[in-house]
Amino acid sequence: MLPSVLRTVVPLVAGWAIVALTHLGFTLDSETAQAAVTLLVAGAYYLLFRLLERAVEKFGGPPWIQGAAGALLGYARPPRYRPTDDVGDLIRQSRS
């Protein structure tokens, strides 16, 4: 469960930090607008590093790139789940 939590929280914090430190050329007077931009940046951050991680896995790139991309998501390895149709088993897997 910890890898999933880290891989959710770290991109959100990274998105907030990127927006807060750079302002991305925007002058945001509204907290709602800043929150929306932060979520968009966090989503793009997650997508970029997740796609990099998957590309290295699929096309056989250097393992350190996959590890670095995973670390920038908060946990160096993506969570792995066994395929199943049993909901109870899915819940047990998510807790491990």
What is the distance between the alpha carbons of residues 72 and 86, in angstroms, rounded to a whole number? 32
**Are 64 and 89 within 8 A, CB to CB?**
no
Q: Which domain holds residue 91?
A: 2-95
pTM over the 0.75 mark: no
- Tell me the pLDDT band of 95, cut-offs 50, 70 and 90: confident
Task: Give the tens place of pLDDT for each residue, 28-86.
Answer: 567 777 777 888 888 888 889 888 988 998 898 898 998 898 888 888 877 676 676 77
* Per-residue pLDDT at 90: 67
Given this model, what pLDDT does residue 25 score? 60
When pLDDT is averaged across residues 9-38 and rounded to a whole number, the result is: 75
Query: In a 10 Å sphere around its CB, with 0-12 CB exposed, 13-18 middle and 19+ buried, how is residue 47 labelled?
Result: exposed
Domain count, the chain: 1
DSSP letter assigned to residue 80: -
Count of other CB atoms within 10 angstroms of residue 92: 11
